[in-house]
Amino acid sequence: MALRIGVIGAGMMGRYFAGTVASGILGADIVAVSSPTAREGGLRITHPNPFDLIKDSGVDAVIVASPDQTHEEFVLACLEAGKAVLCEKPLAPSAAACYRIVQAEVRIGKHLVQVGYNRRFDPAYAALKAALDERIAGYPLLLHCAHRAPGPSRNRTTDMMLSNGAVHDFDIARWLLGEEIVTAMVHLPPSRRSARDQFDPLMIVLRTDSEIFVDVEIFVNAVYGLDIRTEVVCESGTVALEPTRLTWVNHQGHAGSAVPQSTLARFAEAYRLQLQAWVDAVSSGRIVSPNAWDGYAATSVADACIESATTGQPTRVRLEGRPALYS
Ligand SMILES: NC(=O)c1ccc[n+]([C@@H]2O[C@H](COP(=O)([O-])OP(=O)(O)OC[C@H]3O[C@@H](n4cnc5c(N)ncnc54)[C@H](O)[C@@H]3O)[C@@H](O)[C@H]2O)c1
């Protein structure tokens, strides 16, 4: 029988997940959608109250695609109901909230939570990870990341750029290097870009367990498109993502490629593979990474960055001991 999925949130991501399940995912159906708004983007809202959707015996598993600050209560309710949940990133906006989810999962004693760090499923990132694991250019020494978005993004505060945007890069750094990040330092440009407390671009410098430095540029008003870069400097060479090309255009004496304008365009295949992996795992009684610990660890780095952006000092990432469930 197909996995019966309920989706909480019918905005950009909720609609995208629902459409992707309908058109490209094997072994799953969307049977329920919850949103406070009566009908959103063509989706019929079956459960105005998300907790009714979670408790509904006709729903096997839940996708949480509502705003960040709602994730904790919905994920905890899924755990209480014993249902698998794919929660959009970040797992929650603070490390303390993420850790409450980790503790709840540990009490149950089994994995039910997957976090929507979709880049891990992107074919280009998967190839980069495989090349690093094979040590084709030796051990990694440095990691450079850039996360440029077209904007305009007037309402994103510096804290949101870190807790909602840069967390993708924190997760990727942990995953590619296979290490925890231990310190974080955020460098701000000299002046705000808007009245809403937005410093843009940000330069973040992280250090891992084994003293690998990671720099991350976060630029939410880069204007020209969504440009996600990752390069690992290794002992005898470098391994990097290719710039993403959707098309190659020869025109009026110029040759060049079109830059994706949105995350849905850049990561369409990653979102599809992430969903299929989740459906396959849940249908066979498992959960694949990134798990609740990964969600907690990435947000712990974001918390340290937010503190560093306020104090102007390098800040230690505070991580609780890793429970055996996640070893
Ligand atoms: N993985 C990625 O690349 C990626 C990209 C974009 C967004 N996201 C994440 O997805 C989540 C949703 O983002 P979005 O861009 O779709 O936002 P959105 O604003 O487009 O949609 C949010 C939806 O949640 C609903 N909602 C609001 N409050 C709610 C509540 N209390 N209970 C239930 N539903 C509620 C809204 O009505 C809306 O349908 C966020 O956590 C965001 O960080 C992830």
Q: Residues 260-281: pLDDT tens digits?
A: 999 999 999 999 999 999 999 9
Question: What is the band of 42 on the pLDDT scale with cuts at 50, 70, 90?
Answer: confident
Between the two ends of the chain, the Cα-to-Cα distance in Å is 32
* Ligand 1 centroid, distance to 62 Cα (angstroms): 14
Cβ-proximal residues to 178 (8 Å cutoff; 6+ apart), any chain: none
Ligand 1 atom at minimum distance from 16 CA: 16
pLDDT tens readout for residues 98-134: 999 999 999 999 999 999 999 999 999 999 999 999 9
- Averaged confidence pLDDT in the chain: 95
pLDDT tens readout for residues 168-190: 999 999 999 999 999 999 999 88
Q: Up-side HSE of residue 282: CA atoms within 13 Å toward CB? A: 28
Mutation test residue for ligand 1: of 7, 13, 53, 160, the one with most atoms within 8 Å of CB: 13
Mutation test residue for ligand 1: of 63, 88, 94, the one with most atoms within 8 Å of CB: 88
* Structure confidence at residue 245 (pLDDT): 79
CA-nearest residue for atom 19, ligand 1, is 11
* Structure confidence at residue 38 (pLDDT): 72
- For the full predicted model, state whether its pTM sits above 0.95: yes
pLDDT tens readout for residues 217-263: 999 999 999 999 999 999 999 999 988 877 899 999 999 998 999 99
Cβ pair 226, 241 in contact under 8 A: no
* Structure confidence at residue 24 (pLDDT): 85
Ligand 1, CB within 6 Å, residue ranges: 8-14, 34-37, 40, 50, 65-68, 70, 88-89, 116, 118, 164, 263
| Average pLDDT over every residue of 71-81 | 98
* Ligand 1 centroid, distance to 320 Cα (angstroms): 28
| Average pLDDT over every residue of 189-209 | 87
* Ligand 1 centroid, distance to 69 Cα (angstroms): 10
Question: What is the band of 41 on the pLDDT scale with cuts at 50, 70, 90?
Answer: confident
* Structure confidence at residue 70 (pLDDT): 98
pLDDT tens readout for residues 54-63: 999 999 999 9
CA-nearest residue for atom 7, ligand 1, is 13
Mutation test residue for ligand 1: of 7, 8, 12, the one with most atoms within 8 Å of CB: 12
The yes-or-no verdict on residue 87 having pLDDT over 90 is yes
Q: β-strand 84-87 against 61-64: which pairing, if any?
A: parallel
* Ligand 1 centroid, distance to 10 Cα (angstroms): 7
* Ligand 1 centroid, distance to 236 Cα (angstroms): 43
pLDDT tens readout for residues 305-315: 999 999 999 99
Q: How far apart are CA 35 and CA 15, in angstroms?
A: 11
Mutation test residue for ligand 1: of 20, 35, 46, 164, the one with most atoms within 8 Å of CB: 35
